[in-house]
Amino acid sequence: MTATDGDRVVIPLRPVDHADEMPPNPEANAQPARTREGGRWSLPTITLPSIMTGSNLLAAQPPSLLATWDLHARSAKFYDSKILKGLRYTYGALHTYTCAAPGYLIIWVAASFPRLLATVVVLVAALLLLGVL
């Protein structure tokens, strides 16, 4: 049934038009090929929920403030010199409590409109009580 062409094995093709007319071959263990006319060809679709899940940057959660500080503390313990270790602790404290905390607070407040409105009202009231406005 098969012919050898050097190192390759040549398998004869069965015409699609005469597939029903050919007698069944008991030695064949192949499934009939799906033709373009026999089925619908479609590309896989990607939906928005499938993009927003999994391990990608859009779906990733930021570390908590304690996790951020823990990362800085572990990084500071890497250094043997007390000066470098102190500088690394200083940078970690400044980053965690002056950059990350206000950034997380802004993101948390902006996540919902009622929360944003309540925050603005409280800030304006506090500034009025302090006499700044």
End-to-end CA distance of the chain: 94
Counts of helices then strands in the chain (DSSP H, E): 5, 2
Exposed, middle or buried by CB within 10 Å (0-12, 13-18, 19+), for 109?
A: middle
* Range name among 22-26, 95-99, 115-119 with the lowest pLDDT average: 22-26
3-state SS of 45-67 is CCCHHHHCCCCCCCCCCCCCHHH
pLDDT per position as a tens digit, 102-120:
999 999 999 999 999 999 9
Q: What is the mean pLDDT of the chain?
A: 78
Per-residue pLDDT, 35: 54
User: pTM for this one?
Assistant: 0.50
How would residue 27 be classed by pLDDT, with cut points 50, 70 and 90?
low
Burial of 71 (0-12, 13-18, 19+ CB in 10 A): middle
pLDDT at 121: 96
- Flag whether pLDDT at 43 surpasses 60: no
Question: Residue 92 pLDDT > 90, yes or no?
Answer: yes
Quick: pLDDT tens for 46-76.
Answer: 555 555 555 666 667 888 999 999 999 999 9
